[in-house]
């Protein structure tokens, strides 16, 4: 059985501006120790997918509206909040882009690490401190015993992110979700932190979901990649297959829109024209259609299912034999993928059907008619529960902790 099995996950935000269709039926699995990359442009649902997995959706607007999240045999989507708190941090840890949002600026690293460790493990304060020193040493912080007494602002950005990794791995979680963990760092430090993350998760057989908008980052870090667009997975493959045979026009676009070391000399970059769709629209048709050079008439009206690139192949969801699948009515040929544009003589992308613009405007989901209705939806969700504490590991309430040594 897979460690994590996300089945047809649907996440919506009910806001004054309408319903945001953030995640629209996402399915994927992850084995123990497997490293998965989640890639796509800003707003495509990468963070929301994973916040839903650990039930940290921004409240009151964010809701899981469908699907299951089976982790270690339990459905996290329906588990009571008190049980989820025990799983977060202990079994699933998360690292965010900016460690300063997750580290408490007024507590020393020692206080935060000891608190995190003691919140989930029955150990004394001294034992937790010894473990904290070991962890800081493990992530390459010089003089770890001394640095333990420093405050977060006394560390450089790269060192802070190392501290975050140490805290995330403190409880030896089975799954680590790293959301753009190096975006805020400069390039050489990025490479060091990524290498560290890869080595530590490999050594401990920790499964990793690495979220990034940069395909280059996941190339050397992951075994499989899910490419997301507009709240859908549009291509999924092993990392090797995805780079050898990118098969969805969006992935092809991503690869051609950034400089690559393997690009032929003088090869021009091809930007992906246009913008991602407005997520207030209920998805109909292929969400990439307005930007796609390969679109045919059907694309405007039918959203293609995620299917194997090789017809009739039995679908394998995980591992190095995972099936390469795409959701596309008219995939590029390998030559077209290499060129970044359709090469078929006389081919032109299908124009939008008559009235498309008007129809699009009309499709904005106005299922919330009144402020009172919105307040009702929000009330059902209870109080705001965001605000990760030390190590991005939201702690149980004080009365549920094993120790109260701090
Ligand atoms: N608190 C919120 N309220 C309303 N909509 C939200 C909220 N948080 C996210 N969304 C919407 O959900 C969609 C998915 O957002 P998400 O944060 O998952 O994107 P992302 O792929 O992680 O992007 P980025 O690369 O910028 O981090 C977006 O359309 C976003 O506007
Ligand atoms: S060819 Fe059609 S289905 Fe495929 S990505 Fe383009 S618009 Fe979508
Ligand atoms: Mg994000």
Q: Is 61 close to ligand 1, i.e. is its CB under 6 Å away?
A: yes
If you compute the radius of gyration of the chain from its CA atoms, what whole number of angstroms results?
Answer: 22
- Cα of 46 vs centre of ligand 3, distance in Å, is 6
The predicted structure's pLDDT at residue 99: 66
CA distance 104 to 90: 19
The answer to whether the CB of 117 falls within 8 A of the CB of 397 is no
Q: Is 249 close to ligand 2, i.e. is its CB under 6 Å away?
A: yes
Residue where the block lists tokens 């995805």: 242
Q: What is the pLDDT of residues 337-374, one digit of tens each?
A: 999 999 999 999 999 988 776 445 445 555 555 666 66
**Superfamily the domain 4-78+212-261+272-382 falls into:** P-loop containing nucleotide triphosphate hydrolases (3.40.50.300)
The predicted structure's pLDDT at residue 120: 82
Q: Is the pLDDT of residue 9 over 60?
A: yes
CA distance 290 to 18: 22
Mean pLDDT computed over 100-106: 82
Backbone phi, then psi, for 341, in 5-degree steps? -150, 155
The predicted structure's pLDDT at residue 363: 56
Greater pLDDT, 345 or 382: 345
Tokens of 29: 């699995």
Q: Is 294 close to ligand 2, i.e. is its CB under 6 Å away?
A: yes
Atom of ligand 1 nearest to the CA of 45: 18
Q: Is the pLDDT of residue 151 over 50?
A: yes
Q: Is the pLDDT of residue 396 over 50?
A: no
The predicted structure's pLDDT at residue 374: 65
In sequence order, the β-bridge partners of residue 345 are: none
Strand order, beta sheet including 18-30: 18-30, 4-15, 62-71, 74-75
Q: Which residues, including other chains, have CB under 8 Å from residue 206's CB and lie 6 or more apart?
A: 33, 169, 172, 173, 174, 175, 176, 200
Q: What is the pLDDT of residues 317-327, one digit of tens each?
A: 999 999 999 99
Residue 84 Cα to chain centre, angstroms: 19
Q: What is the pLDDT of residues 195-240, one digit of tens each?
A: 989 998 999 999 999 999 888 889 989 999 999 999 999 999 999 9
Residue where the block lists tokens 């790269």: 158
Atom of ligand 1 nearest to the CA of 20: 5
The b-or-e profile of 152-185 (16+ CB within 10 A means b, else e) is: beebebbbbbbbbbbbbbbbebbbbbbbbbbebb
- Cα of 58 vs centre of ligand 3, distance in Å, is 12
Tokens of 22: 């953030």
Q: Is the pLDDT of residue 138 over 50?
A: yes
CA distance 246 to 234: 11
Q: How is the chain split into domains, by residue range?
A: 4-78+212-261+272-382
Task: Put residue 381 in one of left, alpha, beta given phi > 0 → left and psi -120 to 50 → alpha.
Answer: alpha
Greater pLDDT, 251 or 382: 251
The predicted structure's pLDDT at residue 7: 97
The b-or-e profile of 193-230 (16+ CB within 10 A means b, else e) is: bbebbbebbeeeebbbbbbbbebebbeebbbbbbbbbb
Q: Is the pLDDT of residue 101 over 90?
A: no
Q: Is 329 close to ligand 2, i.e. is its CB under 6 Å away?
A: yes
Tokens of 139: 């992530």
Backbone phi, then psi, for 309, in 5-degree steps? -70, -20
Q: What is the pLDDT of residues 246-260, one digit of tens each?
A: 999 999 999 998 776
CA distance 190 to 386: 27
* Most ligand 1 atoms within 8 A of CB, residue of 22, 254, 386 to mutate: 22
Q: Is 59 close to ligand 1, i.e. is its CB under 6 Å away?
A: no
Helix, strand, coil proportions of the chain in percent (round to 5)? Answer: 35, 20, 45
Cα angle 234, 237, 240; round to 5: 135
Mean pLDDT computed over 302-312: 94
Tokens of 270: 């091809």
Residue nearest to ligand 2 atom 7, measured at CA = 289
Mean pLDDT computed over 300-306: 95
Q: Is the pLDDT of residue 148 over 80?
A: yes
């Amino acid at each position: 059985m897979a460690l994590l099995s996300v089945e047809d996950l649907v996440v919506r935000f009910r806001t004054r501006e309408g319903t945001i269709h953030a995640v629209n039926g996402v399915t994927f699995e992850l084995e123990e120790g497997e490293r998965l990359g989640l890639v796509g442009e800003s707003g495509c649902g990468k963070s929301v997918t994973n916040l839903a997995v650990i039930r940290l959706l921004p409240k009151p607007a964010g809701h899981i509206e469908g699907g299951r999240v089976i982790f270690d045999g339990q459905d996290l989507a329906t588990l009571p909040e008190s049980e989820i708190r025990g799983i977060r941090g202990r079994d699933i840890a998360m690292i965010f882009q900016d460690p300063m949002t997750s580290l408490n600026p007024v507590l020393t690293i020692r206080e935060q690490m000891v608190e995190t460790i003691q919140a989930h493990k029955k150990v004394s304060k001294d034992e937790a401190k010894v473990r904290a020193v070991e962890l800081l040493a493990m992530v390459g912080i010089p003089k770890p015993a001394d640095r333990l007494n420093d405050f977060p602002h006394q560390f450089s950005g790269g060192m802070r992110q190392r501290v975050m990794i140490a805290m995330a791995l403190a409880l030896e979680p089975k799954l680590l979700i790293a959301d753009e963990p190096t975006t805020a760092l400069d390039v050489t430090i990025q490479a060091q932190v990524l290498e560290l993350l890869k080595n530590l998760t490999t050594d401990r057989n920790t499964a990793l979901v690495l979220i990034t908008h940069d395909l280059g980052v996941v190339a050397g870090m992951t075994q499989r990649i899910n490419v997301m667009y507009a709240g859908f997975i549009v291509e999924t493959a092993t990392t090797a297959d995805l780079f050898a045979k990118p098969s969805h026009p969006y992935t092809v676009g991503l690869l051609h829109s950034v400089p690559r070391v393997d690009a032929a000399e003088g090869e021009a970059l091809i930007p992906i024209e246009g913008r991602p769709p407005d997520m207030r629209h209920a998805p109909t048709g292929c969400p990439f259609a307005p930007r796609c050079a390969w679109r045919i008439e059907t694309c405007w009206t039918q959203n293609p299912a995620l299917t194997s690139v090789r017809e009739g192949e039995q679908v394998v969801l995980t591992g190095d034999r995972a099936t390469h699948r795409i959701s596309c009515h008219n995939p590029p040929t390998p030559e077209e993928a290499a060129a970044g544009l359709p090469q078929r003589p006389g081919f032109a992308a299908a124009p939008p059907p008559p009235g498309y613009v008007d129809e699009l405007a009309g499709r904005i989901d106005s299922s919330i008619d009144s402020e009172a209705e919105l307040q009702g939806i929000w009330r059902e969700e209870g109080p705001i529960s965001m605000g990760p504490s030390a190590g991005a590991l939201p702690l149980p309430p004080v009365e549920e902790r094993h120790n109260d040594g701090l």
